[in-house]
Amino acid sequence: MSLASDRANFSTAWAPAKVNLYLHVGAPGTGGLHPVDSLVMFADTRAADRISARSAPFIHLSVEGPGAKALQKAPNNLSLAAALALREACDRTGLGVSMVLHKVLPIAGGVGGGSADAAATLHVLNEMWGVDFGEAALERIAQQLGSDVPACVRLRPLVMRGAGERLIDVAAPDLPAILVNPGIMLETRRVFEKFDRLGANRAFRETEPPWGATPEEFAAALGEYRNDLQAAAVALCPEIERALKLMRAQPGCLLARMSGSGPTCFALFESDQAAAVAAERIAEAKKKYWVRATTFRGAPPIPLDD
């Protein structure tokens, strides 16, 4: 996690969008939890929230940016919860912080905005407070905050399995992409309920993730996978299908699919330029859409132990 010194002694961390390139979901088991098998990658700072923090007597959070108004009605904020959880874990009750969350990512958008905010908060306060927990310790704290938060702490291409608690690092190239939200919020709970009513995937099984050295090769391999929640989300929000159709029509588009429980969708492109042009065209055609050109950040193959 890259931290930067900001104005007035603030320390800052980025909270990028978490994108499910595929999401296979099984029937709910004991406790009602659905097993998942999902490849996750993270956007660059063009599609990211931002957390800034400086020392203060008490823990306080303010929210600004285009998404601030929607968050005012939220009963809990994961950034605040993350600060409290870290303070409790290090058993230093006197720690305080004044935080500013600059909210850009769509609320209830299927790109893990709240989880990314929480993870960024853990990283920035871990350094600012001098706690110096390692990644494994931060991931354990993150498990208390939500199933997506540990992945956002790790912030690299990975596969999520189980109920999201099993994380496996994977290799992937950098992928030029766009993110498109049709200007609608969609609760995860509603999508899973619809998924169950439509008939859960009882043939669910964990699969090896795709591989390709170039965006074209990777997108071709990814085409063999799917998002099992997409049909349920489209049934609740038909605008998702219209957004996907528009994305697929853009020159250079290699693949378009919904992320997570929606409604945000992504499209992979053959080049950064093609992605930028597509984002500009869609934003011009659909004024109410939230649109960003970005790059899903890759990682090299993990070296094998001798």
Residues known to be catalytic: 18, 148
Task: Give every CB contact of residue 136 below 8 A, 6+ residues apart in sequence.
Answer: none
Among 39, 58, 54, 107, CA closest to 78: 107
Instruction: Name the amino acid, one letter, at 266.
Output: F
Cα–Cα distance for residue pair 251/277, rounded to 1 Å = 9
Q: Helices in 169-238 by DSSP H: which ranges? A: 188-198, 215-222, 230-236
Query: 255 near 234, Cβ under 8 Å?
Result: no
- Report the side by side order of strands in the sheet with 97-102: 3-5, 11-16, 48-55, 97-102, 59-64
User: 3-state SS of the chain: helix, strand, coil percent to 5?
Assistant: 35, 25, 40
